[in-house]
Amino acid sequence: MTLLTLYALSALLGLFIALWRSPRLPRYNLLVVIAAVPQLGSLLQIDVPGMFLVSAAGLAIWCLSNRAIPGVLVVGAGALMNLAAMALYGGRMPITADVLAALGQLAEPGTHLAGSKDVVVASSPLWLLSDWLIVMSEPFVLVVSPGDILVVLGILLWLILSPHEERQPEMLTVHATPMPVEPFARLIPGQSARPALTRLALLAAANPAFAERLLQDPLAAAAAHPHYHVQLDAHDRATLHAIRARARTVGEFLGELADVVDGK
Amino acid sequence: MAKKIVRAVLAALLVGTIALAATAPYGAPGTRKSSSITLSISQ
């Protein structure tokens, strides 16, 4: 039960960090839950053959699916180191009798240690990946593996370095419908004999909303431009009336206006 | 704020589950060494 308490404490620490940093949540977290079930069984001394592979596969797929999140690949590397050592001993983490002896505990090789995933071994070819780093001794014993340290480091990296990006509130977004692209006639550079109409054409080309108003009522739009006053003579007004009578779209209106400005 | 708390709780549950699934430490209550008193009764 002591290890379950440790896991609960780490979750509590994670809660505080998550409240502070609001991390990005990974996807497909059901895979982690599936991977945890056989490990919980191992803690409770319930060993089901083959379930170790479920843990390994679940963790591997989860890490690959979330590899873009900082720290997840570090968690994956740590888990891989642990699972590699455990694969040699039927899904149990080796701990050498010497390490236990250093803690004042005696156990025969082959003993499953109650309340943990460990099995006692005399020696192991992968001893470097086994539980041998004594973090705490009396009164609470805690021995971890290098893989455990990487997993904890990866979790901390995820919690601290992947802040969740808040979505922009709906009220602040602009819903604009793009205008259909129409073939606007291009003005030919040079002096125009119709300077007032040239100014109107340029203003309309720069501002589609103003072009729409010109199409509806060219004289009123020209007179009421908020920034530029366009002085139209009688000839200009007659020309605008004539164009307005023929044009049905903004594109046609501007095309004809450009032709007049260019003297065509 | 409520969303932030819910996200933090989910993150905390995930931390505990990842730790359970991916780590394999050995933890146990220590065995305190205690002095023993031997009584001998001599007749």
Structure confidence at residue A186 (pLDDT)? 54
Q: CB A144 to CB B23 under 8 A? A: yes
Using CA coordinates, name the residue in chain B closest to A100.
B26
Q: Is residue A190 part of a domain?
A: no
Q: Where are the alpha helices (DSSP H) in B1-43?
A: 2-22
Taking CB atoms and an 8 Å cutoff, what residues of chain A touch B17? 29, 32-33, 36
Q: Is residue A25 predicted with pLDDT exceeding 80?
A: yes
Residues A13 and A123 in one domain: yes
**Can you tell me which residue has the tokens 């990296």?**
A157
Residues A12 and A132 in one domain: yes
Q: Is residue A176 part of a domain?
A: no
Structure confidence at residue B38 (pLDDT)? 45
Average pLDDT, chain A: 85
Chain A nearest-CA distance from B32, in A, is 7
Using CA coordinates, name the residue in chain A closest to B2.
A19
List the domain range (segments joined by +) for residue A67: 2-161
Taking CB atoms and an 8 Å cutoff, what residues of chain A touch B10? 25
Q: Is residue A123 predicted with pLDDT exceeding 80?
A: yes
Q: What number is the average pLDDT over the span A206-235?
A: 81
Taking CB atoms and an 8 Å cutoff, what residues of chain A touch B5? 19
Q: Is residue A133 predicted with pLDDT exceeding 50?
A: yes
Q: Does residue A139 have a cis peptide bond before it, meaning omega lies within 30 degrees of 0?
A: yes
CA-CA distance, A11 to A3, in Å (whole number)? 12
pLDDT digits 0-9 by tens, A64-108:
999 999 999 999 999 999 999 999 998 899 999 999 999 888 888
Q: Is residue A175 part of a domain?
A: no
Sign of the alpha-carbon torsion through A193, A196, A197, A201: positive
Percent of chain B clearing pLDDT 70 (strictly above): 65
Q: CB B11 to CB A14 under 8 A? A: yes
Q: Is residue A170 part of a domain?
A: no
CA-CA distance, A215 to A219, in Å (whole number)? 10
pLDDT digits 0-9 by tens, B3-16:
889 999 999 999 99
Structure confidence at residue B35 (pLDDT)? 42
| Number of domains chain A is built from | 2
Q: CB B16 to CB A11 under 8 A? A: yes
The single-letter DSSP state of residue B4 is H
Element (H, E) at B25: none
Chain B residues with CB within 8 Å of chain A CB: 4-5, 7-33
Q: CB A141 to CB B27 under 8 A? A: yes
Residues A204 and A148 in one domain: no
Mutation target among B20, B32, B34 for the A interface, most CBs of A within 10 A: B20
Structure confidence at residue B31 (pLDDT)? 46
Using CA coordinates, name the residue in chain B closest to A18.
B8
Taking CB atoms and an 8 Å cutoff, what residues of chain A touch B16? 7-8, 10-11, 14
Residues A32 and A125 in one domain: yes
pLDDT band at A217 (very low <50, low <70, confident <90, very high): confident
Q: Is residue A9 predicted with pLDDT exceeding 90?
A: yes
Taking CB atoms and an 8 Å cutoff, what residues of chain B touch A147? 22-24
* Lowest-pLDDT choice from A41-45, A152-156, A177-181, A209-213: A177-181
Q: CB A26 to CB B14 under 8 A? A: yes
Of A135, A161, A187, which residue constitutes the final position of a domain?
A161
Q: Is residue B28 predicted with pLDDT exceeding 70?
A: yes
Residues A201 and A156 in one domain: no
